[in-house]
Amino acid sequence: MGSVPPPPGYQPAAIYPAAYGGQTYDRQRQYAGFGARLGGFIIDGLVSLVFEIPAIVAFAAGPREVRRCTVNGEPRLCNVPTGSTIALGVLLAVIGGIAFLVIFCRKISRSQSWGMKATGITVVGADSGQPISAGRAFGWYVAHVLSQFFCYIGYLWMLWDKRNQTWHDKIAGTVVVKA
């Protein structure tokens, strides 16, 4: 049976039902490859370090005290941070981490993180093809822990998955596509 051309003016819908477990997908989009995702992940990691600079400075430049310590089994005197320096460093690290996470999740919910923008990819809902909410972006980010848990197999999973999904994509119901 030959194919019949569509009538003049016919516009197909942007999202089509797929034969992939009843999911829907956007036929116009291409799933992001491993290299682009890795590049975006590295760039976002470097950006997160910027948020931790105050904590690093506090640990490095904060008050120190001399204490007895053992180095290679020999007693010595060591120059160590004071308790207040450690407390300040931890507090600044937590504040920097929270600030990064809030800004990161908001950027993803609006389209792309810094690394994703640089590598030309974006996270969208697997079922809708639309940008995800900040709450879902937070869940996606937290689920990265599971992807890293068993020797990073959750990240490598995308190499044999039909939609290039990692474990955290599957948990959050997302796909990463070319922007």
pTM of model > 0.85: no
Q: Return the pLDDT at 27.
A: 56
pLDDT band of 5, cuts 50, 70, 90: low
Confidence at residue 110, expressed as pLDDT on a 0 to 100 scale:
86
Dump strand ranges (E) for the chain: 15-17, 24-26, 64-71, 74-81, 121-125, 174-178
Instruction: Answer with the residue of higher pLDDT: 164 or 18.
Output: 164
The string of pLDDT tens digits covering residues 80-101 is 999 999 999 999 999 999 999 9
Predicted local confidence at residue 4, as pLDDT: 62
Which two three-digit tokens encode residue 156?
A: 């490598």
CA quadruple 131, 136, 142, 146: dihedral sign: negative
- Domain locations in the chain as residue ranges: 32-178
For the segment 15-37, what is each residue's pLDDT rounded down to a tens digit?
A: 434 434 444 444 567 999 999 99
pLDDT at 166: 94
The upper half-sphere exposure of residue 31, i.e. CA atoms within 13 Å in the direction of its Cβ, equals 17
Residues 103-135 have pLDDT tens digits of: 999 999 887 999 999 999 999 999 888 999 999
